[in-house]
Amino acid sequence: MSQTARLSLQGKEVELPLVVGTENEVGIDISKLRSETGAVTLDVGYKNTGATTSAITYLDGEKGILRHRGYSIEDLAGKSSFLEVAYLLINGKLPNKQELAEWENDIRRHTLVNEDMQNIFKSWPTGSHPMGQLTAMISSLSSFYPSSLNPNRTSEAQGRTIKRLIAKMPTIVAMIYKKSIGHPVIYPNNNLDYVDNFMNMTFKHVTEDYIQDPVVNEAMNKLLILHADHEQNCSASTVRIVGSSHANLYACISAGIAALWGPLHGGANQKVLEMLNSIKDDGGNAAKFIEKAKDKDDPFRLMGFGHRVYKNYDPRAKIIKKSCDDILNKMGVNDPILEIAKKLEEAALADDYFVERKLFPNVDFYSGIIYRAIGFPVEMFTVLFAMGRLPGWIAQWKEMREENQAIGRPRQIYTGEPARPFVPLDQR
Ligand code: CMC
């Protein structure tokens, strides 16, 4: 294959080098395009634009493949712990026993948050959305650790910030939940592992013992892994672009959380459950809602369906769908919402509109049913997605900074008014 692409522009020929990835995916390197031709490319929504090379995650949307650092999502979800996957994403290799023990111990030592963080809750009105609280709480960590503002710290100091973030995220998430129901905060217990600690902080009552359920904790571990990274999506790209200005890591992750909040991205998991509930309340007629989703005059979309890159079944959704049945059975939960979800999926997959557009269930379609069975309110669903995605965002940020990538600054094609004289107020 030729190693260049040729572009003919207003009578001028330019050769553009090709970049070929590990799996033979081809990119046209246009970094010299503007200096050689004066033109820029235009690709609103970045549907055809690679923003970076990356060695973290490989995704083939046509074949439904997802791998982190070469390991399949099926293997990782079935055989590892969330902290192992976090180590893999951030450090590029699976930890050996000693490395894993050190990683877990280091993270355990940072689980407490400053007591003053509790004061922040006093200023929020009752019912504030947990995602808004999470962006603020994570961003506020930069005030408690001001040394993180220095972009040129040693890698050891940066490593400490990374461990702090991973350690404090479950503490903050559980705190948001406890504050939302008016219960006292449960402090971390560093004798417990990552997931057990999170479940304890979330569901233990201060007045009672909490008995861990291994089935539930296993499901939580799997859900966190399934959300851990997904290459250059809206939130990961946000983290990279904010980080490219050398903003501190807490601010970058807070920006990623804000991007995740939108209903077209991570916020879809809350919307899916609300949609399934409204279908149930409406009598359970899936076909009616399929018709609404197809109607271009109706803003309704089938939440949890479709994906920018998957034009095949999302492999994460496949794993979650299977787990959903298993977990609900093991927990003895009989949720009519699951039946509605299955009916809706069946009807959509048999409908020409969805078939032609290759719209399949995505990761968010079934995850909410498990979260609900575990006992989380819907407003917490996207926060749980953020907790899972944290190592992926960190890995994307670290890769970008280690390569000393330039500040992200897209161009535009200006379509506004040409230069015109200013009109004084009394003459307008
Ligand atoms: N329901 C009905 N129609 C849809 C849907 C849907 N969920 N998704 C896409 N379409 C249609 C869309 O109207 C368009 O039709 P047409 O070609 O006739 O104009 C076509 O399919 C292509 O859609 P698009 O909006 O151009 O695709 P996109 O790549 O820009 O958007 C998406 C991807 C995920 C934003 C979109 O599929 C969507 O809005 N899905 C529902 C929200 C959702 O579940 N989001 C979670 C994504 S997975 C978790 C994550 O990683 O964030």
Distance CA 408, CA 242 (A): 8
Nearest CA to 238 among 261, 251, 255?
255
Closest C-alpha residue for ligand 1 atom 9: 306
- Mean pLDDT over 152-172 rounds to 97
- For domain 268-374, give the CATH superfamily: Cytochrome P450-Terp, domain 2 (1.10.230.10)
- The model's confidence at residue 339, banded by pLDDT at 50, 70 and 90, is confident
pLDDT at position 258, please? 98
pLDDT at position 262, please? 97
- Cβ 315 vs Cβ 66: under 8 Å: yes
Closest C-alpha residue for ligand 1 atom 20: 357
Position 197, amino acid: N
The percent of residues above 70 in pLDDT, for the chain, comes to 100
Q: Active site residue: 110, 129, 314, 364, which one?
A: 364
pLDDT at position 3, please? 87
Position 343, amino acid: K
Dump pLDDT digits (tens) for 39-51: 999 999 999 999 9
Residue 115 has pLDDT above 80, yes or no: yes
Distance CA 257, CA 248 (A): 15
pLDDT at position 322, please? 86
Residue 333 has pLDDT above 90, yes or no: no
- Mean pLDDT over 295-324 rounds to 91
Q: Active site residue: 281, 307, 314, 352, which one?
A: 307
pLDDT at position 394, please? 98
Residue 1 has pLDDT above 80, yes or no: no
- Mean pLDDT over 246-259 rounds to 98
Q: Where are the domains of the chain?
A: 4-65, 71-258, 268-374
Residue 284 has pLDDT above 90, yes or no: no
Check if 60 is active-site: no
Closest C-alpha residue for ligand 1 atom 29: 308
pLDDT at position 330, please? 86
Domain 4-65 in CATH 2.20.28? The answer is yes
Distance CA 258, CA 130 (A): 11
Architecture of domain 71-258: Orthogonal Bundle (1.10)
Distances (CA, A) of 355 to 85, 316, 345, 351: 34, 19, 12, 6
Distance CA 250, CA 294 (A): 40
Full-model pTM = 0.95
Distance CA 308, CA 299 (A): 18
Nearest CA to 228 among 77, 79, 52?
77
Give the binding-site residues of ligand 1, using a 6 Å CB cut-off: 230, 233, 264-266, 268, 293, 301-308, 357, 359, 362-364
